[in-house]
Amino acid sequence: MVATKIDGRAFAETVRQDVARHVAQLRSDHGVTPGLAVVLVGEDPASEVYVRNKGKQTRECGMASFEHKLDAATSEAELLGLIDRLNADPSVHGILVQLPLPSHIESNKILNAIDPAKDVDGFHISNVGLLGTGQKAMVPCTPLGCLMLLRHHHGKLDGLNAVVLGRSNIVGKPMAQLLLRDNCTVTIAHSRSRDLESIVRSADIVIVAVGRPEIVTGDWIRPGATVIDVGINRIERDGKTKLVGDVHFDSAADMAGAITPVPGGVGPMTIACLLANTLTACCRAKGLSEPSSLTA
Residue 58 pLDDT greater than 80, yes or no: yes
CB burial of residue 165 (10 Å; 0-12, 13-18, 19+): buried
Active site residues: 54, 98, 121
Q: Which pLDDT score is estimated for 96?
A: 97
Q: What is the mean pLDDT of the chain?
A: 96
In angstroms, rounded to a whole number, what is the distance separating the alpha carbons of residues 114 and 61?
A: 24
pLDDT tens digits along 141-154: 999 999 999 999 99
Q: Which pLDDT score is estimated for 1?
A: 66
139-152 burial, b for 16+ CB within 10 Å, e for fewer?
Answer: bbbbbbbbbbbbee
In angstroms, rounded to a whole number, what is the distance separating the alpha carbons of residues 123 and 105?
A: 16
Q: What's the pTM value of the predicted model, to 2 decimals? A: 0.96
pLDDT tens digits along 163-200: 999 999 999 999 999 999 999 999 999 989 999 999 99
Residue 116 pLDDT greater than 90, yes or no: yes
pLDDT tens digits along 206-225: 999 999 999 999 999 999 99
φ, ψ for residue 42, nearest 5 deg: 95, -170
Residue 290 pLDDT greater than 70, yes or no: yes
Q: Which pLDDT score is estimated for 237?
A: 87
